[in-house]
Amino acid sequence: MFGLSRSTLLYYDRVGVLAPTGRSRSNYRLYSEADRKRLEEICSFRRAGLSIEDIRTLLSNRTERSTGLLERRLRAIGDEMRSLESQQRLLAGLLRAQAGGGPRGPVDKALFVEMLRAAGMDEAAMHRWHREFESRAPEAHQAFLRSLGIPEGEALRIRRWSLEGAPAAGRRKR
Amino acid sequence: MFGLSRSTLLYYDRVGVLAPTGRSRSNYRLYSEADRKRLEEICSFRRAGLSIEDIRTLLSNRTERSTGLLERRLRAIGDEMRSLESQQRLLAGLLRAQAGGGPRGPVDKALFVEMLRAAGMDEAAMHRWHREFESRAPEAHQAFLRSLGIPEGEALRIRRWSLEGAPAAGRRKR
DNA sequence: TTAACCATCACGTTGCGTGATTGTAG
DNA sequence: CCTACAATCACGCAACGTGATGGTTA
């Protein structure tokens, strides 16, 4: 139902995050509808990268301070992304050093982009930034693009590009 | 010398990626200058996120095949970033759902900074960005700060802060 | 002798996957 | 009886960290 393996369910039972409601008389695990609901939440949190331990905390303590855990995870994701970016820069340097100086192509046209790039942002980071902007304040995003002198058509393109990567169900590599 | 722990060196010896050149008569590990060089490379590759296995391959087969491995790692980094991005989106959705209506007010300083931070920028990167902005287009910088609702006084503080550590002539390493 | 090093070895971590062995349903 | 399920348990993975136990050096 959720694309999980049998051993995953056994593991969830073992660590106490999802115990089946009952057992058959021959000791087979019987999962109830409530279990299914719970598992659905577990999968959701797991896709958000939360640890089993954190998920157990969230589900046992669901009335309240879950927000802190989620925000903590958001910050951790930011850290991981920064780490990956620095790895990216390092690898790019290693490859450039080994293959001789390669021309990078037409870099960028806008001053704003150039400044962000000079500050260490790469394509992926800019995409993430646009996506944040678009998801948090779409009309402000539009206004901001207009303020950079970007024409309506391209602004729309950028905003659609910001949304690339569909929500939740079945992602594809872009 | 490289900020590694003792147990890390022991581990590197155990898995055969860095064996000390010799042993003292009481069986103590003795690392040579060549070992130090090798370890430096290992650290570099490790910072690029390469596995110990891959590093061993790279160091034993240093003539050629390395490029493929490095490029493979670059692609893997891209995958990981996309995964993190989807986690980010999911968490943002969960938080928005839990905290009620999304942020619909105008973009202020806090939101803008939070978006940049969520995109992976840290304090240092923001400082670099402000410096670029201030040096390339001071009045636009001022206008931009005003558009975020930042009062004149603080804007001036930020602009002066932007110049801190700015090189007198020529740019730093990029 | 005592402190402060070193050596080897075993086990813990995370989130499961992979058997091995044994029991059960149809 | 055969096949396809189920259950439990032990071990493995990556890259180390953390003791335990015992030898070496000043």
Identify the closest residue of chain A to B97 by CA–CA distance: A67
Residue A17 confidence (pLDDT): 95
For the entire predicted model, the pTM comes to: 0.66
Helix (H) or strand (E) holding B85: helix B66-98
Q: What's CA B43's distance to the chain center, in Å? A: 15
Q: Which nucleotide is nearest to A10 (CA to C1')?
A: C16
Residue B29 Cβ under 7 A from any strand C atom? yes
Q: Count of CB contacts below 8 A, A vs B?
A: 151
What sign for the dihedral angle of Cα B102, B106, B107, B111? negative
Integer Cα distance of B39 and B34 in angstroms: 9
Residues B145, B148, B153: CA angle, nearest 5 degrees: 50
Q: Pick the more confident residue, B81 or A101.
A: B81
Q: Per-residue pLDDT tens for B1-43?
A: 999 999 999 999 999 999 999 999 999 999 999 999 999 999 9
Residues of A in contact with B119 (CB under 8 A): 81, 121, 125-126, 128-129, 132
Does B49 touch chain A if contact means CB atoms closer than 8 Å? yes
Residue B59's pLDDT band, with cuts at 50, 70 and 90, is very high
Cβ atoms within 10 A of the Cβ of A42, count? 22
Report the helix count and the strand count for chain B, using DSSP H and E. 8, 2
Residues of B in contact with A174 (CB under 8 A): 82
Does B48 touch chain A if contact means CB atoms closer than 8 Å? yes
Q: Per-residue pLDDT tens for B162-171?
A: 887 755 444 4
Residues 6+ positions from B82 with CB-CB distance below 8 Å: A165, A173, A174
Integer Cα distance of A62 and A59 in angstroms: 5
| C-alpha torsion angle, residues A31, A32, A38, A39 (rounded to 10) | 30
Of the segments A151-160, B52-61, B85-94, B141-150, which one has the largest average pLDDT value?
B52-61
Residue A77 has pLDDT above 80, yes or no: yes
Does B76 touch chain A if contact means CB atoms closer than 8 Å? no
Q: Pick the more confident residue, A67 or A114.
A: A67
Q: Of B42, B65, B89, which to mutate for an interface test with A (greatest number of A Cβ within 10 Å)?
A: B89
Integer Cα distance of A60 and A50 in angstroms: 15
Residue A102's pLDDT band, with cuts at 50, 70 and 90, is very low
Terminal CA-CA length for chain B: 25
Q: What is the mean pLDDT of chain A?
A: 80
Residue B26 Cβ under 7 A from any strand D atom? yes
Q: SS3 for A65?
A: coil
Residue window 7-26, chain B: list those with CB within 8 Å of chain A: none
Please check whether residue B61 is in contact with residue B53, taking contact to mean a CB–CB distance below 8 angstroms. no
DSSP B121: -
